[in-house]
Amino acid sequence: MTFNLPDLPYAQDALAPHMSEQTLNFHHGKHHKGYVDKLNDAVKGTDYDGMELLDVARRAHEKGDTAVFNNAAQAWNHAFFWRCMSPATPVEPQGPLAEKIAATFGSLPQLRTRFIAEGMARFGSGWVWLVEGTDGVLDVVSTANADLPQTAGLKPLLTCDLWEHAYYLDYQNARQAFLEVFFDHLVDWDFAATCLNTQGDSNILAA
């Protein structure tokens, strides 16, 4: 199986001014593509050949195969990240997702505070996630570098990329400003709700 760079679910300029066309061009067309290309080179002719992307990441993590894991995980993380954003005016979470947010965090503003604080506390590169545990309880976690929550048995509902290439062209070193704009203007809560309702995490990107 050859992995392909997925198309963005919106035009490259659709998230402006919150995320510029230049950022999306470099982030999707250079960084994300680079992970996909390196992954294809790494798995060709190996036991990973023919496996689904998330399964490759999981297997490589189990084997301690760092090069394959990093590229597979980053390819998956980025594909998920694009889906977490929408150019539409954000609509607050509804239904079961809203109920779980209230039960765990108290309110959406309190989730916002926790999400941004977790993103700021992550030293260096990584990701901040809203996840659901196996007990059905939501949590906010961050992962280092390419790590993804599925390796810890957590289902991702939402993520924001904390690598500097995700925000430096638009926000320079102001990670907090980027996280605030992401949460207030870019989050697609409908997608997060779809992830919550999807059985298992292997099918999330097909939802």
Position 9 in a domain = no
Residue 206 pLDDT class (50, 70, 90 cuts): low
Q: Where a domain ends, among 48, 83, 118? A: 83
Q: Give 102-144 pLDDT, tens digit per residue.
A: 999 999 999 999 999 999 999 999 999 999 999 999 999 999 9
Position 59 in a domain = yes
Q: How far is residue 19's CA from residue 27's CA, in Å, rounded to a whole number?
A: 11
- Same domain for 102 and 142, yes or no, is yes
Q: In this structure, what CATH number is given to the domain that contains residue 180?
A: 3.55.40.20
Q: Which amino acid is at 154?
A: L
- Same domain for 107 and 176, yes or no, is yes
Q: Where a domain ends, among 83, 109, 129? A: 83
Helix (H, G, I), strand (E, B) or coil at 138: strand
Q: How far is residue 107's CA from residue 99's CA, in Å, rounded to a whole number?
A: 9
pLDDT at 204: 65
Position 178 in a domain = yes
- Same domain for 180 and 104, yes or no, is yes
How many other CB atoms sit within 10 Å of the CB of residue 103? Answer: 11
Q: What is the DSSP string of 78-96?
A: HHHHHHTB-SSPP----HH
Compute φ and ψ for 146, nearest 5 degrees.
-95, -5
- Same domain for 128 and 164, yes or no, is yes
pLDDT at 207: 41
Q: In this structure, what CATH number is given to the domain that contains residue 72?
A: 1.10.287.990
Averaged pLDDT, 48-58? 94
Tell me, what DSSP letter sits at residue 17?
T
- Which tokens hold the place of 133? 């545990």
- Between CA 8 and CA 196, with CA 157 as vertex, the angle to 5 degrees is 115
Answer whether the bond into residue 109 is a cis peptide, omega within 30°: no
Q: Give 19-45 pLDDT, tens digit per residue.
A: 999 999 999 999 999 999 999 999 999
Q: Give 59-99 pLDDT, tens digit per residue.
A: 999 999 999 999 999 999 999 999 999 999 889 999 999 99
1 has a pLDDT exceeding 80: no
81 within 8 A of 205, measured Cβ to Cβ = no
Q: How far is residue 64's CA from residue 53's CA, in Å, rounded to a whole number?
A: 16
Q: How many domains does the chain have?
A: 2
- Same domain for 120 and 149, yes or no, is yes
Position 128 in a domain = yes
- Same domain for 54 and 124, yes or no, is no
203 has a pLDDT exceeding 60: no
- Same domain for 105 and 198, yes or no, is yes
Expressed as residue numbers, the domain containing 181 is: 95-206
Residue 199 pLDDT class (50, 70, 90 cuts): confident
Position 90 in a domain = no
pLDDT at 205: 65
- Same domain for 40 and 120, yes or no, is no
Position 202 in a domain = yes
pLDDT at 185: 97
202 has a pLDDT exceeding 60: no
